[in-house]
Structure 1
Amino acid sequence: MANINDEKNDKRFIFKTASFQHASTKSSNNKKKAWRSLKQIITMERALNWPENFVHYSSINAPPSFRPAKKYSDISGLIAPYTDPQSRLQYATIEEYSTIISLPMDITAGYLAIRGASSIVG
């Protein structure tokens, strides 16, 4: 049993170099490395002269989706399979529909404006 524990403690990993020091511990001054935000990194990379056919994340355009966009309830935010034909508000349950029917027109227009839909029809 003692031999197994000794073998585990003596195990040396091939990928580790004994003389390795991390860049932050090498420097004699104690300055911390400045972190850049994603916006700063993107701005710096756009300024570089990339080869014409070089593909990177900011040059790739995604094709349009073949799936229809999901519709969400204007009241609860749940997936909404139904749309009120009069107010054009989307709803998920019967309780939400009863709430939509009782809403005044200015609040209905506000919900549509939040969603970015066109004005009320009818």
Structure 2
Amino acid sequence: MPPKGGKRKSNVATPVQAVSPQPPSLVESLSYAHYPRPFKNPNYTKNANRRAKSAKQVIGAEREREKLGREKLKAQGMDVDWTEDPEATSFTSIEAPPSVLPQKRYCDITGLEAPYTDPASGLRYHDKNIYELIKSLNPASMQAYRSVRNPHSVVK
């Protein structure tokens, strides 16, 4: 083993020799990355002003399109006997009523189901091992765990 702090090698004094290009590796030779992609339009320019629509906007537009189609059929004299119930809840309805089932409670530390709540800190925990960990936390950490679940929770 050479001694530490010995002579440093420098590549400044060594002349640079002409290096022949190395053949491509197996991975590079089997890669399709350099082939042209026929499914991409080379003249495509992305519109920077375009924004994504929310699900509510998309569903509303679909409803309007269906309504216009029905009105067009009625104008042509076709028999359209379908009426839309605006209060009906369907798989496309975002305004569904809240669930009647109780909200599930999860451990603030592990994410497992939490049947217990610490009365002092308000943190939910899964078992006694997690409770021991909660007792050793400082108030700032407890507040951080509570804020993950509910950002407006402040315990005095």
Calculate the TM-score normalised by the size of structure 2. 0.45
Q: Where do 1:42-121 residues align within 5 Å?
A: 46-48=60-62, 49=64, 50-51=66-67, 53=84, 57-59=91-93, 61-116=95-150, 118-121=153-156
Residue by residue, what CA displacement relative to the aligned partner does 1:39-67 show, whole Å, maximum 9, x if unpaired?
66955553352437277744453222111
Structure 1 gap ranges (5+): 1-29, 33-38
Change (3 A) 1:53 1:73: same
Q: TM-score, normalised by structure 1?
A: 0.56
In 2, Cα distance between the equivalents of 1:90 and 1:106?
A: 16
Q: How many residues align?
A: 86
Q: Which runs of 5+ in 2 are unaligned?
A: 1-37, 41-51, 68-82
Q: Which amino acid counterpart does residue 84 of structure 1 have in structure 2?
A: D
Decide which structure has greater helix share. Answer: 1
The CA deviation string for residues 69-117 of structure 1, in whole angstroms up to 9 with x for no partner, is 0000001100000000000000011000000000000000000111116
Aligned identity (percent) is 36
- The structure showing larger relative contact order (alpha-carbon pairs under 8 Å, at least 6 residues apart) is 1
